[in-house]
Amino acid sequence: MKVIAVGNQKGGVGKTTTALNLSAALALCGQRVLLIDLDPQANTTSGLGLEVDGEASVYPALLGHADVREKIQPTGRENLSIIPSHMDLAGVEIELARSEDHLTRLRTHLQGLKPNDLFDFCILDTPPSLGVLMTSALAAADEILIPLQCEWFGLEGLAKIVHVIDQIKESGANPDLELEGIVMTMFDGRTNLAKQVVEEVGNYFPDQLYQTVIPRTIRIGEAPSHAKTIFEHDPTGLGSKAYMDMAQEFLTRHSVSGPLLAGA
């Protein structure tokens, strides 16, 4: 099981949308996916139409009161399971910070899942901050995928999160953490700015930048309000095609082949 953190400390960049729809696309490609919602706002959980329940989140497991395996539940979609979130997770920022092993607790739990061979990928949706939950996710992940909005402020945020990745590696909490990729979101091909930002990221991170860009579309934005993935809400639209193309690129990077979603 490969653990992928989807993270960016800047909000509004399409992080949760990417975590949710990438997970759904991988599941449609036949990969067994565990999606863990680590954001106390629980947008990934509600976006799949699931109840936001404090007892169901990873919160008790992080405090040592439960086994993380007990928190896994189905989403109603084939190959896609979830550990949902709850606003109580915000309390972890205080409670975990008091413990010496706060950075490695999530990692320990997820390492325990790997020998069971239940999942091919574990996707961590992280909160838009650089707090304990985000750093715990980076300490637990094999790789990080950064969604980046096509604007200049996004470049500033990219520099910060790359710095945090380096800090996590140098601290010894997760020396093997890799920057898996950067995916550009909310792309508007009609503007020169969007193209310039993509080009600039490609200059600095040519190997990490995804060739697939996620367009700015109304359908992508409204899908969660219907408790649907983009593939359920608009299966033949630009958003579905983009996220399936991204999933195919992701699988190619990981030397896995998967079938294309019909109509996408």
For 2-48, the DSSP string reads: EEEEE--SSSSSSHHHHHHHHHHHHHHTT--EEEEE--TT-HHHHHT
Q: Helix 15-28 to helix 238-253 angle, to the nearest 10 degrees? A: 70
Q: Is 261 part of any domain?
A: no
The model's pLDDT over 44-75, given as tens digits with 9 standing for 90+, comes to 999 999 987 667 888 888 888 888 899 999 99
Q: Is 199 part of any domain?
A: yes
Q: Is 262 part of any domain?
A: no
Q: What is the pLDDT of residue 89?
A: 82
- Residues 205 and 70: their CA atoms lie apart, in Å, by 39
- Residues 6 and 128: their CA atoms lie apart, in Å, by 10
Q: Is 143 part of any domain?
A: yes
Mean pLDDT of 3-24: 94
The closest alpha carbon to 242, from 217, 224, 215, belongs to 215
The model's pLDDT over 121-174, given as tens digits with 9 standing for 90+, comes to 999 999 998 888 999 999 999 999 999 998 887 787 888 899 999 999 998 989
Q: Is 258 part of any domain?
A: no
| Domain count along the chain | 1
CATH number assigned to the domain comprising residue 181: 3.40.50.300
Q: Is 259 part of any domain?
A: no
Q: What is the pLDDT of residue 53?
A: 66
- Residues 6 and 10: their CA atoms lie apart, in Å, by 12
Q: Does pLDDT of 258 surpass 50?
A: yes
The model's pLDDT over 76-99, given as tens digits with 9 standing for 90+, comes to 999 999 999 988 888 877 777 677
> What is the amino acid identity at position 73?
Q
Boundaries of domain holding 71 = 2-253
The pTM of the whole model exceeds 0.85: yes
Q: Is 180 part of any domain?
A: yes
Q: Is 97 part of any domain?
A: yes
